[in-house]
Amino acid sequence: MSFTAPRLPDRRAFLAGLLLAGQAAAAPRIQPRLPPKPPVVTVLGDSITSGLGVPAQAAMPAQLQAALTRMGVVAQVRAAGVPGDTSGGGLARVNRSVPPDTALCVVALGGNDLLQGIEPRVTKANLRAILQSLRDRRIGVVLVGVGAPTLFGAGYAREFNAVYPALAREFSAPLYPNILAGVGGSRQLMQGDGIHPNAAGARVIGDRLAPLVAQALRSIQTAAR
């Protein structure tokens, strides 16, 4: 009876295999690169921002989102509107309504101040405090104004209408002078109350506001480089 010894693997091949196995185990796993998150645009406002009387998908923030998308601007628009909110109400909630991941805040307050006859100096002080709070948190701003008609009194209208340009200059913020420009007074674009835009009116506002928001986002991105 004969005995045949088992064949041992070639020593060099064996050592080479061990070396390759060790390198494979030590090699770091390559994580897939995730696309960057789009910048967040928070719209801080009142009933126009909240979309009173229209579906959420037809409200001004959604229309702004759609307009930015048509322009090829990647951004996520969030609505932070509360019906009936004055500039004082916006100031009281700015820190909780504008989350830390916000790159740009569209501040659209003052319409209810006007309707309630709040002194323009009070509105100005509240808006200034909102803008200062956002600046302190390094959040960019687009300021949206409200146009006061002379039926509120020529002196009151003049003082109120001066609030927004003055604050825009003070904070070097882009200004959209009147949220209802090209919309207010139109039966085709306003709801029956004559105060709030309908879906078509909200689209006009979103379309007109989008270029200003896009430019502000570009400025923020350029400054961050």
Provide the 3-class DSSP secondary structure of residue 176: strand
- Give the pLDDT of residue 139: 98
Q: Model pTM?
A: 0.84
Rounded to 5°, the CA angle 49-55-60 comes to 30
Cβ neighbour number for residue 126 with a 10 Å cutoff: 23
For the chain, domain boundaries: 40-224
The residues annotated as belonging to the active site are 47, 193, 196
Q: What is the largest CA-CA distance in the chain?
A: 123
For 107-164, how does the pLDDT look when each residue is reduced to its tens digit (9 = 90+)? 999 999 999 999 999 999 999 999 999 999 999 999 999 999 999 999 999 999 999 9
Cα(45)–Cα(182) distance, integer angstroms: 19
Are the C-beta atoms of 73 and 41 separated by less than 8 Å?
no
Are the C-beta atoms of 95 and 31 separated by less than 8 Å?
no
Q: Check residue 102 and report its DSSP letter.
A: E
40-224 is a CATH 3.40.50.1110 domain: yes
